[in-house]
Amino acid sequence: MKLLVFAGSTRQLSYNRRLATQVATMAREAGAEVTHIELGDFDVPMYNADLEARGTPRDVVRLKELGYEHPAWIICAPEYNASYPALLKNTLDWISSPIKGDPLWSDDFRATRGKVVGMLSASPGALGGLRSQSHLAPLLLNLHFWVAPTNFALSRAGEAFDADGKLVDERNQKRVRAVIDEVLWAAERLQRR
């Protein structure tokens, strides 16, 4: 199963980037073919319809292609002001924006429709970014994703990783693995339809 993993953060010491790295490692161990991307590696401007009218940026098309090629996604979403960050919203807005006149990408939801997505978050606070997920889920449903019912919010993330970036608590590892397993299981079954 092809799994796309990314964090909605570009901060160097981001807990969610660390979590995404752990997800990628654990998913590979579970047998998935993982593509772990960093959103900071893509030159994606703030969404603007006037800019889009002059031509969709090449890196946006790359993101659309990656999304389409992967039946399973896992997003690690930071929490900013009790919601998900602008970087994540902007990325999803571009991915779901149609390219007028393009035979493949004139379909808004080609990259997202029917994909299974799992939500994780990490935060230094006690809720672990759970409020971010509560706002992100309706957006993902609107983009025609199948949202996995199992999710995980890693609280007190500043103490959750060792010096190598690995989750130290076995309970946290199991909860992350549960999200991975459910996403891969559901994506495999939806592919058979």
> What's the confidence (pLDDT) of residue 13?
92
* Cα 67 to Cα 60: distance, rounded to the nearest angstrom: 11
pLDDT tens digits, one per residue of 127-138: 999 999 999 999
Q: What percent of the chain is modeled with pLDDT above 90?
A: 98
22 touches 176 (CB < 8 A): yes
Pairing of strands 33-36, 72-76: unpaired
Task: Tell me the CATH number at 89.
Answer: 3.40.50.360
> What's the confidence (pLDDT) of residue 32?
98
pLDDT tens digits, one per residue of 84-112: 999 999 999 999 999 999 999 999 999 99
Does the pLDDT value for residue 18 go beyond 90? yes
DSSP letter for each residue of 115-142: -EEEEEEE-SSTTTTHHHHHHHHHHHHH
> What's the confidence (pLDDT) of residue 12?
92
CB atoms within 10 A of CB 183: 29
Confidence of residue 191 (pLDDT cuts 50, 70, 90): confident
The total number of structural domains in the chain stands at: 1
> What's the confidence (pLDDT) of residue 109?
96
Does the pLDDT value for residue 184 go beyond 90? yes
Element (H, E) at 146: strand 146-147
CA 132 → CA 66, 84, 139, 169, 181, distances in Å? 24, 5, 11, 23, 22
Which two three-digit tokens encode residue 158? 């500043």
59 touches 45 (CB < 8 A): no
Q: What is the pTM of this model?
A: 0.96
Which two three-digit tokens encode residue 67? 């999304």
> What's the confidence (pLDDT) of residue 171?
97
Q: If you average pLDDT over residues 15-37, what whole number do you get? A: 98
Residue 107 burial (CB < 10 Å; 0-12/13-18/19+)? middle
CB atoms within 10 A of CB 31: 9
pLDDT tens digits, one per residue of 43-91: 999 999 999 999 999 999 999 999 999 999 999 999 999 999 999 999 9
pLDDT tens digits, one per residue of 145-166: 999 999 999 999 999 999 999 9
Q: 17: left (phi > 0), else alpha (psi -120 to 50), else beta?
A: alpha
- Domain residues for the domain of 86 are 2-191
